Structure 1
Protein backbone atom coordinates (compact mmCIF):
# COMPACT_ATOMS: atom_id res chain seq x y z
CA UNK A 1 0.00 0.00 0.00
CA UNK A 2 2.89 2.36 0.75
CA UNK A 3 4.06 2.12 -2.89
CA UNK A 4 0.50 2.80 -4.02
CA UNK A 5 0.27 6.05 -2.04
CA UNK A 6 3.76 7.20 -3.05
CA UNK A 7 2.83 6.82 -6.70
CA UNK A 8 -0.10 9.22 -6.32
CA UNK A 9 1.67 11.66 -4.03
CA UNK A 10 4.53 12.14 -6.50
CA UNK A 11 2.22 12.10 -9.53
CA UNK A 12 0.02 15.06 -10.41
CA UNK A 13 -3.24 13.12 -10.48
CA UNK A 14 -6.61 14.49 -9.49
CA UNK A 15 -8.47 13.49 -6.37
CA UNK A 16 -11.07 11.67 -8.49
CA UNK A 17 -8.34 9.61 -10.20
CA UNK A 18 -6.79 8.85 -6.82
CA UNK A 19 -10.10 7.66 -5.31
CA UNK A 20 -10.86 5.56 -8.40
CA UNK A 21 -7.43 3.86 -8.31
CA UNK A 22 -7.65 3.38 -4.55
CA UNK A 23 -11.06 1.69 -4.85
CA UNK A 24 -9.70 -0.55 -7.63
CA UNK A 25 -6.79 -1.51 -5.40
CA UNK A 26 -9.15 -2.37 -2.49
CA UNK A 27 -11.43 -4.40 -4.76
CA UNK A 28 -8.44 -6.33 -6.11
CA UNK A 29 -7.32 -7.12 -2.56
CA UNK A 30 -10.82 -8.30 -1.60
CA UNK A 31 -10.94 -10.53 -4.69
CA UNK A 32 -7.62 -12.17 -3.75
CA UNK A 33 -8.94 -12.79 -0.21
CA UNK A 34 -12.14 -14.37 -1.58
CA UNK A 35 -10.10 -16.64 -3.85
CA UNK A 36 -7.86 -17.62 -0.94
CA UNK A 37 -10.91 -18.37 1.24
CA UNK A 38 -12.40 -20.51 -1.54
CA UNK A 39 -9.15 -22.46 -1.84
CA UNK A 40 -9.12 -23.00 1.95
CA UNK A 41 -12.68 -24.29 1.78
CA UNK A 42 -11.89 -26.83 -0.93
CA UNK A 43 -8.64 -28.24 0.48
CA UNK A 44 -7.65 -29.76 3.81
CA UNK A 45 -4.21 -29.59 5.36
CA UNK A 46 -3.39 -33.01 6.86
CA UNK A 47 -2.87 -33.33 10.60
CA UNK A 48 0.73 -33.66 11.75
CA UNK A 49 0.18 -35.83 14.82
CA UNK A 50 -3.50 -36.78 14.56
CA UNK A 51 -4.48 -35.57 18.02
CA UNK A 52 -8.07 -34.74 18.93
CA UNK A 53 -7.18 -31.08 19.53
CA UNK A 54 -5.40 -30.80 16.17
CA UNK A 55 -8.35 -32.38 14.36
CA UNK A 56 -10.73 -29.87 15.97
CA UNK A 57 -8.57 -26.95 14.81
CA UNK A 58 -8.25 -28.49 11.34
CA UNK A 59 -12.01 -28.18 10.80
CA UNK A 60 -12.55 -24.67 12.17
CA UNK A 61 -9.39 -22.72 11.22
CA UNK A 62 -8.22 -21.09 8.03
CA UNK A 63 -5.17 -22.70 6.46
CA UNK A 64 -2.88 -19.94 7.72
CA UNK A 65 -4.14 -20.21 11.33
CA UNK A 66 -4.07 -24.01 11.21
CA UNK A 67 -0.41 -23.96 10.18
CA UNK A 68 0.33 -21.70 13.17
CA UNK A 69 -1.57 -24.09 15.44
CA UNK A 70 0.38 -27.05 14.05
CA UNK A 71 3.65 -25.34 15.03
CA UNK A 72 2.33 -25.00 18.59
CA UNK A 73 1.12 -28.61 18.65
CA UNK A 74 4.57 -29.82 17.62
CA UNK A 75 6.23 -27.63 20.28
CA UNK A 76 3.95 -29.19 22.94
CA UNK A 77 6.20 -32.27 22.83
CA UNK A 78 8.88 -30.30 24.70
CA UNK A 79 6.54 -29.55 27.61
CA UNK A 80 6.26 -31.34 30.94
CA UNK A 81 2.96 -30.58 32.65
CA UNK A 82 1.96 -30.94 36.26
CA UNK A 83 -0.98 -29.72 38.25
CA UNK A 84 0.13 -27.55 41.17
CA UNK A 85 -3.18 -26.35 42.59
CA UNK A 86 -6.71 -27.54 42.01
CA UNK A 87 -10.23 -26.81 43.21
CA UNK A 88 -13.54 -28.09 41.86
CA UNK A 89 -13.52 -25.70 38.93
CA UNK A 90 -10.05 -24.15 38.77
CA UNK A 91 -6.65 -25.74 38.10
CA UNK A 92 -3.19 -24.19 38.00
CA UNK A 93 -0.63 -25.99 35.87
CA UNK A 94 3.12 -25.58 35.91
CA UNK A 95 4.59 -26.13 32.47
CA UNK A 96 8.30 -26.88 32.14
CA UNK A 97 9.38 -26.35 28.56
CA UNK A 98 12.72 -27.79 27.52
CA UNK A 99 14.44 -25.21 25.33
CA UNK A 100 17.87 -26.88 25.22
CA UNK A 101 19.61 -29.93 26.71
CA UNK A 102 19.92 -28.35 30.13
CA UNK A 103 17.65 -25.28 30.01
CA UNK A 104 13.96 -25.22 30.95
CA UNK A 105 11.46 -22.36 30.94
CA UNK A 106 8.78 -22.47 33.61
CA UNK A 107 5.35 -21.02 32.86
CA UNK A 108 2.02 -21.03 34.66
CA UNK A 109 -1.26 -21.90 32.94
CA UNK A 110 -4.64 -21.56 34.63
CA UNK A 111 -7.73 -23.46 33.53
CA UNK A 112 -11.29 -22.69 34.61
CA UNK A 113 -13.36 -25.82 34.04
CA UNK A 114 -16.69 -24.02 34.56
CA UNK A 115 -16.18 -21.34 31.91
CA UNK A 116 -13.70 -23.50 29.90
CA UNK A 117 -11.24 -20.61 29.80
CA UNK A 118 -7.50 -21.12 29.78
CA UNK A 119 -4.81 -18.50 30.29
CA UNK A 120 -1.04 -18.61 29.96
CA UNK A 121 1.67 -16.10 30.80
CA UNK A 122 2.82 -16.44 27.17
CA UNK A 123 -0.34 -14.55 26.00
CA UNK A 124 -0.23 -15.94 22.45
CA UNK A 125 -4.01 -16.34 22.37
CA UNK A 126 -4.51 -12.72 23.40
CA UNK A 127 -1.99 -11.42 20.84
CA UNK A 128 -2.48 -13.77 17.83
CA UNK A 129 -5.70 -15.64 18.53
CA UNK A 130 -4.16 -19.13 18.76
CA UNK A 131 -3.47 -21.33 21.75
CA UNK A 132 0.19 -21.68 22.65
CA UNK A 133 1.89 -25.02 23.24
CA UNK A 134 1.72 -24.42 27.01
CA UNK A 135 -2.08 -24.15 26.94
CA UNK A 136 -2.32 -27.13 24.59
CA UNK A 137 -0.17 -29.13 27.00
CA UNK A 138 -2.42 -28.20 29.94
CA UNK A 139 -5.56 -29.05 27.94
CA UNK A 140 -4.09 -32.45 27.02
CA UNK A 141 -3.30 -33.06 30.70
CA UNK A 142 -6.83 -31.93 31.65
CA UNK A 143 -8.34 -34.28 29.07
CA UNK A 144 -6.29 -37.25 30.28
CA UNK A 145 -7.25 -36.41 33.86
CA UNK A 146 -10.93 -36.41 32.85
CA UNK A 147 -10.52 -39.68 30.97
CA UNK A 148 -9.14 -41.26 34.15
CA UNK A 149 -12.09 -39.88 36.12
CA UNK A 150 -14.55 -41.12 33.52
CA UNK A 151 -12.93 -44.55 33.71
CA UNK A 152 -14.38 -45.00 37.21
CA UNK A 153 -17.89 -44.71 35.68
CA UNK A 154 -17.38 -47.56 33.22
CA UNK A 155 -19.47 -50.55 34.16
CA UNK A 156 -17.55 -53.68 34.96
CA UNK A 157 -18.52 -57.30 35.55
CA UNK A 158 -17.02 -56.87 39.01
CA UNK A 159 -19.63 -54.27 39.99
CA UNK A 160 -22.04 -56.31 42.17
CA UNK A 161 -25.27 -54.37 41.49
CA UNK A 162 -24.63 -54.39 37.77
CA UNK A 163 -24.28 -58.15 37.35
CA UNK A 164 -26.89 -59.69 35.09
CA UNK A 165 -29.38 -62.03 36.72
CA UNK A 166 -27.87 -65.11 34.99
CA UNK A 167 -24.42 -64.19 36.26
CA UNK A 168 -25.77 -63.69 39.78
CA UNK A 169 -27.51 -67.06 39.74
CA UNK A 170 -24.28 -68.70 38.56
CA UNK A 171 -22.34 -66.98 41.36
CA UNK A 172 -24.97 -68.07 43.91
CA UNK A 173 -24.75 -71.68 42.79
CA UNK A 174 -20.97 -71.77 42.68
CA UNK A 175 -20.11 -69.83 45.79
Structure 2
Protein backbone atom coordinates (compact mmCIF):
# COMPACT_ATOMS: atom_id res chain seq x y z
CA UNK A 1 0.00 0.00 0.00
CA UNK A 2 2.87 2.37 0.78
CA UNK A 3 4.28 1.90 -2.72
CA UNK A 4 0.94 3.03 -4.15
CA UNK A 5 1.28 6.37 -2.33
CA UNK A 6 5.02 6.91 -2.93
CA UNK A 7 5.55 10.34 -4.37
CA UNK A 8 2.00 11.45 -3.63
CA UNK A 9 1.23 11.45 0.10
CA UNK A 10 3.58 12.79 2.74
CA UNK A 11 3.53 12.57 6.55
CA UNK A 12 2.61 16.24 7.12
CA UNK A 13 -0.40 16.45 4.82
CA UNK A 14 -3.74 18.03 5.67
CA UNK A 15 -6.99 16.33 4.70
CA UNK A 16 -7.61 18.36 1.51
CA UNK A 17 -4.05 17.75 0.29
CA UNK A 18 -4.39 14.07 1.13
CA UNK A 19 -7.59 13.77 -0.95
CA UNK A 20 -5.94 15.60 -3.86
CA UNK A 21 -2.82 13.46 -3.65
CA UNK A 22 -4.88 10.29 -3.34
CA UNK A 23 -6.81 11.30 -6.46
CA UNK A 24 -3.52 11.89 -8.32
CA UNK A 25 -2.23 8.49 -7.23
CA UNK A 26 -5.40 6.78 -8.51
CA UNK A 27 -5.18 8.63 -11.83
CA UNK A 28 -1.54 7.57 -12.23
CA UNK A 29 -2.41 3.95 -11.38
CA UNK A 30 -5.18 3.92 -14.00
CA UNK A 31 -2.83 5.53 -16.53
CA UNK A 32 -0.20 2.84 -15.86
CA UNK A 33 -2.79 0.07 -16.21
CA UNK A 34 -4.05 1.53 -19.49
CA UNK A 35 -0.47 1.71 -20.78
CA UNK A 36 0.14 -1.93 -19.77
CA UNK A 37 -3.10 -2.97 -21.49
CA UNK A 38 -2.08 -1.09 -24.66
CA UNK A 39 1.33 -2.80 -24.64
CA UNK A 40 -0.30 -6.19 -24.12
CA UNK A 41 -2.65 -5.69 -27.06
CA UNK A 42 0.13 -4.50 -29.38
CA UNK A 43 3.14 -6.56 -28.27
CA UNK A 44 2.99 -10.33 -27.86
CA UNK A 45 5.53 -12.12 -25.71
CA UNK A 46 6.31 -15.47 -27.28
CA UNK A 47 5.59 -18.68 -25.41
CA UNK A 48 8.68 -20.59 -24.27
CA UNK A 49 6.98 -23.97 -24.51
CA UNK A 50 4.23 -25.81 -26.36
CA UNK A 51 2.18 -25.97 -23.19
CA UNK A 52 -1.52 -25.15 -23.61
CA UNK A 53 -1.37 -23.79 -20.06
CA UNK A 54 1.24 -21.20 -21.01
CA UNK A 55 -0.71 -20.31 -24.16
CA UNK A 56 -3.86 -19.70 -22.13
CA UNK A 57 -2.04 -17.33 -19.78
CA UNK A 58 -0.48 -15.58 -22.79
CA UNK A 59 -3.98 -14.94 -24.17
CA UNK A 60 -5.48 -13.77 -20.87
CA UNK A 61 -2.84 -11.75 -19.04
CA UNK A 62 -1.03 -8.50 -19.62
CA UNK A 63 2.61 -8.84 -20.60
CA UNK A 64 4.01 -8.13 -17.10
CA UNK A 65 1.70 -10.75 -15.49
CA UNK A 66 2.43 -13.21 -18.28
CA UNK A 67 6.19 -12.78 -17.64
CA UNK A 68 5.57 -13.67 -13.97
CA UNK A 69 3.79 -16.86 -15.08
CA UNK A 70 6.62 -17.69 -17.50
CA UNK A 71 9.13 -17.28 -14.67
CA UNK A 72 7.21 -19.85 -12.62
CA UNK A 73 6.95 -22.22 -15.59
CA UNK A 74 10.67 -22.11 -16.37
CA UNK A 75 11.50 -22.96 -12.76
CA UNK A 76 9.58 -26.27 -12.73
CA UNK A 77 12.49 -27.91 -14.53
CA UNK A 78 14.32 -28.34 -11.22
CA UNK A 79 11.30 -29.55 -9.25
CA UNK A 80 10.37 -33.15 -8.56
CA UNK A 81 7.17 -33.47 -6.51
CA UNK A 82 7.07 -36.45 -4.15
CA UNK A 83 3.73 -37.94 -3.15
CA UNK A 84 3.59 -37.91 0.66
CA UNK A 85 0.13 -39.41 1.11
CA UNK A 86 -3.15 -39.85 -0.68
CA UNK A 87 -6.70 -40.57 0.35
CA UNK A 88 -9.93 -40.80 -1.63
CA UNK A 89 -10.10 -37.06 -2.32
CA UNK A 90 -6.72 -35.38 -1.80
CA UNK A 91 -3.10 -36.12 -2.57
CA UNK A 92 -0.40 -34.33 -0.63
CA UNK A 93 2.90 -33.68 -2.38
CA UNK A 94 6.17 -32.38 -1.01
CA UNK A 95 8.12 -30.15 -3.38
CA UNK A 96 11.70 -29.18 -2.57
CA UNK A 97 12.74 -25.83 -4.00
CA UNK A 98 15.68 -23.48 -3.68
CA UNK A 99 14.90 -20.00 -2.41
CA UNK A 100 17.40 -17.32 -3.41
CA UNK A 101 17.79 -14.09 -1.45
CA UNK A 102 20.71 -12.00 -2.68
CA UNK A 103 23.76 -14.31 -2.34
CA UNK A 104 22.03 -16.73 0.03
CA UNK A 105 20.33 -19.96 -1.11
CA UNK A 106 18.15 -22.12 1.11
CA UNK A 107 16.41 -25.42 0.37
CA UNK A 108 12.72 -25.19 1.34
CA UNK A 109 10.12 -27.94 1.21
CA UNK A 110 6.61 -26.86 0.24
CA UNK A 111 3.42 -28.85 0.64
CA UNK A 112 0.87 -29.01 -2.18
CA UNK A 113 -2.61 -30.40 -1.57
CA UNK A 114 -4.07 -31.63 -4.86
CA UNK A 115 -7.56 -32.89 -5.69
CA UNK A 116 -7.49 -34.86 -8.92
CA UNK A 117 -11.29 -34.78 -9.32
CA UNK A 118 -11.47 -31.04 -9.98
CA UNK A 119 -7.75 -30.20 -10.44
CA UNK A 120 -7.71 -27.95 -7.38
CA UNK A 121 -4.38 -27.39 -5.67
CA UNK A 122 -3.18 -25.31 -2.76
CA UNK A 123 0.48 -24.67 -2.03
CA UNK A 124 2.00 -23.70 1.28
CA UNK A 125 4.06 -20.97 -0.45
CA UNK A 126 0.84 -18.97 -0.90
CA UNK A 127 1.94 -17.27 -4.14
CA UNK A 128 -1.47 -17.57 -5.77
CA UNK A 129 -3.23 -16.12 -2.74
CA UNK A 130 -0.73 -13.25 -2.45
CA UNK A 131 0.01 -12.37 -6.09
CA UNK A 132 -2.66 -14.09 -8.17
CA UNK A 133 -0.01 -16.09 -10.01
CA UNK A 134 0.07 -19.87 -9.87
CA UNK A 135 3.34 -21.06 -8.34
CA UNK A 136 5.85 -23.43 -9.90
CA UNK A 137 5.11 -25.99 -7.15
CA UNK A 138 1.49 -26.33 -8.30
CA UNK A 139 2.59 -26.30 -11.96
CA UNK A 140 4.97 -29.19 -11.15
CA UNK A 141 2.22 -31.19 -9.42
CA UNK A 142 -0.12 -30.53 -12.35
CA UNK A 143 2.57 -31.70 -14.76
CA UNK A 144 3.20 -34.97 -12.92
CA UNK A 145 -0.57 -35.61 -12.88
CA UNK A 146 -1.02 -34.92 -16.59
CA UNK A 147 -3.13 -31.78 -16.12
CA UNK A 148 -3.05 -29.94 -19.48
CA UNK A 149 -5.66 -27.24 -18.84
CA UNK A 150 -5.95 -24.82 -15.98
CA UNK A 151 -9.28 -24.50 -14.16
CA UNK A 152 -10.81 -21.02 -14.37
CA UNK A 153 -10.19 -20.46 -10.67
CA UNK A 154 -6.47 -20.01 -11.49
CA UNK A 155 -6.99 -17.16 -13.95
CA UNK A 156 -7.80 -13.78 -12.45
CA UNK A 157 -9.00 -10.59 -14.15
Give the TM-score taking structure 1 as reference length. Answer: 0.62
- 2:50 is paired with a residue whose SS is coil
Q: Which runs of 5+ in 2 are unaligned?
A: 101-105, 148-157
Matched, 1:3 2:7: yes
Paired residues of 2:36 and 2:63 also in contact (CA < 8 A): no
Aligned-partner Cα distance in 2 for 1:122–1:68:
15
Q: What CA deviation, in whole Å up to 9, does each residue of 1:154-175 have, x standing for no partner?
A: xxxxxxxxxxxxxxxxxxxxxx
Which residue does the alignment assign to 1:110? 113
Task: Report the equivalent of 2:64.
Answer: 64
Contact in 1 for aligned 2:36/2:62 (Cα 8 Å): no
Q: Which has the larger radius of gyration?
A: 1
Query: What runs of 5+ residues in structure 1 fail to find an aligned partner?
Result: 145-175
TM-score (normalizing by structure 2): 0.68
Q: In proportion to residue count, which structure has more helix?
A: 1
List aligned pairs for 1:70-81, cutoff 5 A.
70-81=70-81
| Structure 1 residue corresponding to 2:146, chosen from 143, 148, 172 | 143
CA RMSD of aligned residues (A): 3.3
Count of aligned positions: 138
Question: Does the aligned pair in 2 maintain the 1:78–1:99 contact within 8 Å?
Answer: no
Ranked by relative contact order (alpha carbons within 8 Å, sequence separation 6 or more), the top structure is: 2
